[in-house]
Copies of this chain bind each other. A is one copy, B any other.
Amino acid sequence: MKKRVAVVGATGIAGQQFLLALDRHPWFEVAALAASERSADKTYGEAIRDSKTGARRWWCNEEPPESMLDLRVRNAAHLDLDGIDIVFSAVESDVARELEPRYAKTTPVISNASAFRYEDSGLLDLQRRRRGWRGFITPLPNCTTIGLVIALKPLYDSFGIRRCLMTSMQGISGAGRSPGVVALDIVDNVIPYIHGEEEKVAKETGKILGHLVEGGIDPAPFPVSATCTRAAVLEGHTESVALSTERPCSVDEAKQAMREFGRDLAKLALPSAPRQMIIVHDDPFRPQPRLDRDVDGGMATSVGRVRADHALENGLKFMLVSHNTKMGAAKGAVLVAEQLTVGGYI
- Roughly how many angstroms separate A169 CA and B328 CA in the complex, as a whole number? 23
Known: A54-B284, A193-B284. A165 touches B227 (CB 8 A): no
Contacts of A184 in B (CB 8 A): 59, 172-173, 177, 180-181, 234
Q: Does A163 contact B (CB under 8 A)?
A: yes
- Roughly how many angstroms separate A304 CA and B311 CA in the complex, as a whole number? 23
Q: Does A340 contact B (CB under 8 A)?
A: no
Residues A35-82 near B (CB distance < 8 A): 52-56, 59, 61
| A114: min CB distance to chain B, Å | 16
B192 and A287 within 8 A (CB): yes
A238 and B187 within 8 A (CB): no
Contacts of A182 in B (CB 8 A): 177, 179-183
A163 and B312 within 8 A (CB): yes
A283 and B55 within 8 A (CB): yes
Which residue of B52, B167, B192, B311 contacts A286 across the interface (Cβ within 8 Å)? B192
- Roughly how many angstroms separate A309 CA and B224 CA in the complex, as a whole number? 9
Which residue of B222, B229, B233 contacts A232 across the interface (Cβ within 8 Å)? B233
Contacts of A315 in B (CB 8 A): 225
Contacts of A304 in B (CB 8 A): 192
**Which residue of chain B has the shortest Cβ distance to A176 in the bound complex?**
B184
Residue tally, chain A, CB below 8 Å to B: 63
Of the listed stretches A90-98, A261-269, A288-296, chain B binds A288-296
- Roughly how many angstroms separate A247 CA and B189 CA in the complex, as a whole number? 35
Contact with B along A165-209 (1 / 0, CB 8 A): 101010011000101111111111111110100000000000000
- Roughly how many angstroms separate A173 CA and B310 CA in the complex, as a whole number? 29
Q: Does A254 contact B (CB under 8 A)?
A: no
Known: A184-B234, A311-B163. A190 touches B169 (CB 8 A): yes
A187 and B240 within 8 A (CB): no
- Roughly how many angstroms separate A97 CA and B304 CA in the complex, as a whole number? 34
B285 and A190 within 8 A (CB): no
A-B contact pairs, 22 of them (CB 8 A): A53-B193, A54-B282, A163-B312, A169-B190, A169-B231, A173-B184, A179-B180, A180-B183, A181-B183, A181-B184, A187-B188, A187-B232, A188-B188, A188-B232, A188-B289, A190-B233, A192-B287, A193-B285, A227-B242, A227-B317, A231-B231, A240-B240
- Roughly how many angstroms separate A192 CA and B291 CA in the complex, as a whole number? 12
A172 and B165 within 8 A (CB): no
| A248: min CB distance to chain B, Å | 17
